[in-house]
Structures are given as structure tokens and as C-alpha cells.
Structure 1
């Protein structure tokens, strides 16, 4: 289907959340990560909207979803924003796809609103404190915060980007860049919270939420890819190796899509006991 979404806003807790949706059928909600904007999901929304209603949004304090005064990230508030978008589109539950920190917010949504989750797919959610080398990763994160505070955004972001493996692979299209203010909000207000935050995955497992996790083949052994191994152990859930890098769903959509649909089928069959 061509990409021709309906655009709207929903007000939630002091923020007009800008969202857009199209299609027919069960709802899939696409949750952005640290880059904050929903445009990265436009390709996969177009590809899926013959059979699904697909919605995404700009997260609060990112892109079009501005507030009067930016505040420190609250993962529970991010979960409530997801709930507000789902309700605004007219649904009581949704399939959730979250990538990067969007996967962390998806986990938080599953923790806080389990009754609203149909299936959840977390793509390279960086729950780094679960890693065997969590101490080394945490100290690197703290180093990045010091670099940001003393040497500025470009230096810190450049060191961080060095870990985004696969983006420079030959023949791979460039991702859609975020608005210039998004990285500043990420480093000021989100990164300090995310570097040590992990939703309670054990509670999510106890709730028997239908979950699968994905890691991109181009990400190799990047820290955000390896976290999926630990998540799958805790959640006892399917883990797929899928095409692409950390945003492979955006730039290798045609290759990524069959794995996405197979994950949904796998989760449906697991829930049905097949």
C-alpha cells in the first residue's frame, strides 16, 4: 500500500503527541528509540497496512511532540504516552514493536499495561545492565556523559556512533535523520536515565505476556544486540536474528518484513499452544 497516513494529535500529560496511522486490521504500534521520531517506520507501515492498522508517533520532547519545558525521561510516562496513542486510534490493545530504547519503553508498557499487549517485539533494546560485561559498558556510558558535559554533543555523539555497527556497510541506504534538537534532548534528558534502567522483565514473564526479541545481523556483537540474548533467557521467549543493522527495519524493509511476520506467527502459535 502507498504511504498516505492520517495525521493527528493526542494530548497527554502536558504534551501534544503527534501520531499518524493507516491500514486496516489489528493494531501495530511502532515505538521510536533515542532518535525520537516516527518517520523511521514509514516504510514498514506502508508495507504492512494492507493487513494491519499501523500507528507511530514522535515521542514527547522529540520532533513535533514538543513541550514547554523539557524534563528528564520517565519510562513509565513513555508507557502512558504509548497507551494514549493506542486509545486515540480507537483500540484497547495492540501489537507493540519497539526498537532500541523504544524496546525499553515497550517493555515498560508491557509491565504497566499487560492487558493492552497483544504481542510485543523488542528489537535490540539496550538493557545493558543485564550483560555479562555490564560493568565495562556502564563505565563507557559514564565516560560518554563526561565527554558530553566537557567536550560537547558532537564529540559524545561521535563516540557513541562508533558502536552503531553496519550503518556504513556497502549499498545500505542512509537512515532518515532526526530533527537537530532531538540529539540534544537525548543527551540532556534521556541518556542519563537509560544508561542504568531496565524494566522488571521477571514481572513481565510472570504476566505471561507474548514477547519475542530480535537482533540485527549487521549489528554483530554490539552491546545493544547482545542484550537480546539475556532478555530471551529471562523471558524464555523467541529470539530471531534478522536482516539489517540497528535500524534495519527502516532501510532494509523488504528483507526485514518476512522475519517480522514470522515472529508474529511464532508468537501466535506459541500462545495457542501449537
Structure 2
């Protein structure tokens, strides 16, 4: 795996940690959840055979620090961070952008607000639940998760959130068995746990309350690829992309695995992403 060049970028209210690999047209990878840049290492190394690939920790996550650790988080501000990355690394040419989950929401907003800076967006399972006909139910889920976090703490809130994302009738998620991880993976898991309160407390409520500009998306749909995991059918993160693909009249592409297919099936996922970025 190629060794990235590491940098830091001051933005409004934060400093972003970013990593760059390869040569060629720029591809910006925006992680979802608490993964950060390190969750995209394998994918970035694969794409770096053809592109300059940039990854970064979203503001407030891992090595990207906030000036005010209690600051509210907004999709528009996270999208502006992505724009600053494009301005730094590809100032003259539009770039390709891939986003996963919450990172896909950022990528969609970037497309609708700065289309001249984006050649193509591949959005994998953006949980844009506000576009769904039953959005009221999902607002109730967010309220339940927020209240559970306030009254019972992190792990009960995570359990409530995970239950709301599952397929109807699916068995409840069980805690994973304890296993001994390699040092690098153990450090990554520790960082993920450290970022969970910020993610569940400030990213989830703000991002899943965001509604994209559907008129703008329709006008820009030739620059947008919507993707879902083969194994995600029926789960909440699958449904908004499927709804939008039908609404916009574009193909819904299926990638291997489920919501986290880029980590469970990195080689197959990377192969399909190569094709989606070229199309």
C-alpha cells in the first residue's frame, strides 16, 4: 500500500487532517460515520493507480480538530470543508468525489451548491431520509436516539439508532464477540469508539434532518451516481438512494456487501467505483 503525503488544512472553525496518494485527476473520498481517512486506506491505494486520491478526517473526527469542541455541526459547513480540499488540490479542474453514508450527504450538497467544481459524484447510501414518504417516522427515530443519549448514555442510544436502521423483522443486533485485533486495527477501533459520542450526538441528528434540493439534483443528475449495497435491501440507508434514483430517472447501482461494503469487500468495491468514476 502506497504511503500517503500528509497535510493539514485550516478551515472555518477547524483544522482538517488530510492524506494524498497517486497522480492524475483528483478523486476526493469523503468517509462516513466515524471511519475517518484511515477507513479508506485500501480504497485510496487502489484508486491511486489512476488518480490523485485525497482522503481526510471530517471536522471534529480523529485528527481534524474543532476550535470549539461543542460547536453544532451542519451539512453545509462540512461541504464547504470538502470544497476547500478541492480548491487546494485541484484548483483549476473539476474533481471526482465519492462519499459514503454521512459523507455521501456532504457530497450531494457539494454537487448542488458548487457543480462547477465537481465532475462526478458517487454517493453510496446517503441516509437522506427527509426525501422519503415516511420521513415523519424517521424524525421520530432521531428524537428517540437524542433523548436516549441524554437520559441513558451512549451505548443505549447507539442500540436505538442501529435498531432503526435495520430491515423490518430483522433480529436485534448482538454485541460482537471480543477478539484480539492487530495493533493498527485496534488503534482504529479505539478511535472509532472515541468519536462515537460526537457522531451520534451531533452528526446524526443534523445530517439526517437535511433535505437536498431535488430540483437542483434533477438538473445535475448526469453528474450523479447513486449506489447501494447488494445486502442492504430493505434497510433504512438503502431506501433514500433507491427513492432518489427513481425520482431522478437514473440508474441505481449496486455495490458488493452492505452499508459498509467498502471495508468488507474492498477489492470488488474498488473495481466498481473505478467504473462509476469513469462513466
Alignment TM-score > 0.5, same fold = yes
1:110 pairs with 2:111: yes
Give the aligned CA root-mean-square deviation in angstroms.
Answer: 2.3
Cα shift readout 1:56-77 (whole Å, capped 9, x = no counterpart): 1001111101113131112111
1:245 to 1:207, Cα distance in 2 relative to 1, 3 A: closer
For 1:74, the equivalent position in structure 2 comes to 74
Q: Which residue of 1 aligns with 2:25?
A: 26
Q: CA deviation at 1:30?
A: 0.6
Q: CA deviation at 1:208?
A: 5.2
Q: 1:227 & 1:215 partners in 2: Cα distance? A: 10
Note the C-alpha offset of 1:36: 5.3
The aligned residue for residue 147 of structure 1 is 148
- Measured in 2, the distance between the counterparts of 1:33 and 1:153 equals 19
2:270 — aligned with what?
Answer: 257
Q: Secondary structure at the match of 2:237?
A: helix
Out of 198, 207, 216, the position equivalent to 1:203 is: 216
Partner of 1:137: 138
Q: Deviations over 1:12-58 (max 9, x none)?
A: 11311100011111111011223151111110111111111111100
Distance in 1 separating the partners of 2:8 and 2:132? 38
| Native 8 Å contact 1:114 1:209 kept in 2 | no
Distance 1:49 1:261 in 2: 11
Q: Write the distance in 2 (CA, Å) between the matches of 1:68 and 1:12.
A: 10
Aligned position for 1:234: 247
The corresponding residue for 1:272 is none
Show the counterpart of 1:271: none
Contact 2:26 2:90 in 1 (8 A): no
Q: Which residue of 2 aligns with 1:159?
A: 160
Alignment partner, residue 171 of structure 1: none
Q: Distance in 1 between the 2:201 and 2:141 partners?
A: 17
Aligned 8 A contact 2:221 2:248 in 1: no
Instruction: Measure the CA separation in 1 of the matches of 2:230 and 2:111.
Output: 26
CA displacement at 1:149 relative to structure 2: 1.1
Q: Flag the 1:164–1:87 CA change in 2: closer, same or farther, 3 A.
A: farther
Between 1:151-160 and 1:174-183, the stretch displaced more is 174-183
For 1:180, what is the secondary structure of its paired residue? helix
d(CA) in 2 for partners of 1:129, 1:67: 28
Distance 1:51 1:161 in 2: 36
* Structure 1, gaps ≥5 residues long: 169-173, 269-274
Measure the CA separation in 2 of the matches of 1:246 and 1:141: 19
Q: Which ranges in structure 2 are unaligned for 5 or more consecutive residues?
A: 175-180
CA contact (8 A) 1:60 1:67 kept: yes
Aligned to 1:244: 257
Q: Per-residue displacement from partner, 1:73-114 (whole Å, max 9, x unpaired)? A: 121111110011122224442111011111111011111111
Q: How far apart in 1 are the matches of 2:195 and 2:58? A: 10
Indicate the residue corresponding to 2:177 in structure 1. Answer: none
